[in-house]
Structure 1
Amino acid sequence: MSKLLISVTSVEEALLALEGGADIIDMKNPSQGALGALPLSVVSEAVIAVGGRRITSATTGDLPMSPTLICHAVMQMAATGVDIIKIGFFGNEQENIACIHAVQPLIARHNLAVVAVLMADLSPQFSLLPLLREAGFWGVMLDTANKDGRSLLAHLDMESLAIFLRMAEGMQTGLAGSLNMENIENIVKMKPSYIGVRGAVCMGFDRVAKLCKDKVSALNRLLYNCNKSVESADLA
């Protein structure tokens, strides 16, 4: 059953997402890029407000693929008490591998749940998936770096997504990137662990506008019905 991840920008939005039925409340700043980071104080306050009623996650920002910078950002975010830390992988293969190796001991030493975010519109390196699994990453997801209105499916077809999900077996998997209702109905059939959304639940479908609780609730109902349809098909 695919769960619903909703990205929020504040304590207020975190509570709206909670009331709307989000399974994972994800803190990020959409005005600062694909994975813009919120101030650590805001993340901490949101984690406290959610109070363990849902899983929380937060992004470390659109950072250069420097092992030192990435590790520093991970440990700063871990101090907020957030459940899951998301790292964007924007570099070439060599840079990305260096960062994976650098984060690996932090995961083991501090028992961190870390998600690698690969960018569907930047030639995502599926060859990293076995290495991420070996390094102890909790999960891996696909998103889009350029928020130009084109969805995940404009960059990767369903066959490519199926390959990604198959290669990521053993980790939690997420699919995101300007997804709309129609996209989601098709994607749920592929059974990712969760589906990530921001713009589709904001006023005017604008990812930098205010989150709308009614849109979260509507998407939550849609996802519930899609999951039920998938379960019924499996039993048929």
Structure 2
Amino acid sequence: MAVQLLVSVRTADEALAALRGGADFIDLKEPRTGALGGLPRAIIRGIVAALREAGSTLPVSATIGDVPLGDLNGILDCVGAVGSCGVDIVKVGIERGPQAFAVLDALAACSHDVVPVFLADQGLDFAAVAHAAGLPLAGVMVDTADKRAGSLFDALPAADLQRFVDTVRAAGQRVGVAGALRVHHLPAVHALAPDFAGFRSAVCNGSRGSALDAARLQALVAVARASAVPTVARFMGGLRVPAVAGLPA
């Protein structure tokens, strides 16, 4: 089965572009305020409304923002507030630390569907990953906090990434990966074979805080949908993008 694409957006216009461009999931976040920066609740509600008015049935997720693990009550308050905005899934960052287990247990008991997102910058605690995989959650993801330090594949060895995917899948959970991923990372993503992969940097014409670029999104989707990534590639605005018929150079 092909890896499904989660595309992160910050406005209704971007969400509709992601819908038209072929995204499988639409993720709401504010990339200018952190790896899992949260959007204002009113904007979340507006984006959800715009997607539903456009007839979209795609799953919509939203992040709660970068809330410290030590603030469990704050995390749960944010989950409730974001979940009440009409999204299907609420994403919560999980840093490495002793509080992770209690936070994961509390998230699993929420009335909203939650996906914990393990932040890989300090390495992964595989006991916590296995614990999350065994809980009634909507999936488990891995991402990076510091996008300036490189991609997910720079943050973790390939063996650790494969162990993460295998651990989550062995428990019957859906598993996702993200972290400054670009089009040229798609072969490595396909080799990991997660259920879904998240993209923001790859679909922006500039920094991940700049606007979503429809042509880049189309190129990403075209390559991801192909059975194999073409070996002949070109550069489009400094981003390595395989040549796709009908897309601008």
Please name the residue that 1:74 is paired with.
79
Please name the residue that 2:93 is paired with.
88
Residue by residue over 1:149-191, the C-alpha shift from the partner in whole angstroms, topping out at 9 and shown as x without a partner, is: 5011111122111111111111111111111112112211221
SS at match of 2:7: strand
**Offset at 1:122?**
2.0
Please name the residue that 1:39 is paired with.
40
- 2:172 corresponds to 1:179: no
- 2:62 corresponds to 1:61: no
Structure with larger RCO (C-alpha < 8 A, sep 6+): 1
**Offset at 1:113?**
2.0
Conserved? CA contact 1:118–1:125, under 8 Å: no
Corresponding letter in the other structure for 2:94: F
Aligned pairs, how many?
222
Please name the residue that 2:238 is paired with.
none
User: What value does the CA root-mean-square deviation take over the aligned residues?
Assistant: 1.4
Conserved? CA contact 1:203–1:210, under 8 Å: yes
Residue by residue over 1:2-53, the C-alpha shift from the partner in whole angstroms, topping out at 9 and shown as x without a partner, is: 1001100011110111111111110000111010000111111111111143
Please name the residue that 2:154 is paired with.
154
Conserved? CA contact 1:116–1:140, under 8 Å: yes
SS at match of 2:192: coil
Conserved? CA contact 1:122–1:145, under 8 Å: no
Q: For 2:96 and 2:124, how far apart are their aligned partners in 1?
A: 10
Q: For 1:142 and 1:105, how far apart are their aligned partners in 2?
A: 21
Please name the residue that 2:241 is paired with.
none
Question: Between Structure 1 and Structure 2, which shows a larger proportion of helix residues?
Answer: 1
Corresponding letter in the other structure for 1:87: V
Please name the residue that 1:208 is paired with.
209
Conserved? CA contact 1:200–1:215, under 8 Å: yes
TM-score for the superposition, normalised by structure 1: 0.90
Cα gap change, 1:45 to 1:191, in 2 (>3 Å): same
Conserved? CA contact 1:56–1:84, under 8 Å: yes
- Deviates further, 192-201 or 152-161: 152-161
Structure 2 unaligned blocks of 5 or more: 230-249
Conserved? CA contact 2:91–2:117, under 8 Å: yes
Please name the residue that 2:244 is paired with.
none
Corresponding letter in the other structure for 1:182: H
SS at match of 2:61: strand
Q: For 1:195 and 1:102, how far apart are their aligned partners in 2?
A: 25
Structure 1 unaligned blocks of 5 or more: 231-236
- 2:133 corresponds to 1:129: no
- 2:198 corresponds to 1:193: no
Residue by residue over 1:87-134, the C-alpha shift from the partner in whole angstroms, topping out at 9 and shown as x without a partner, is: 001251x2111211222221xxx2x32111111112222211232133
Please name the residue that 2:31 is paired with.
30
List aligned pairs for 1:97-116, cutoff 5 A: 97-106=101-110, 110=111, 112-116=112-116
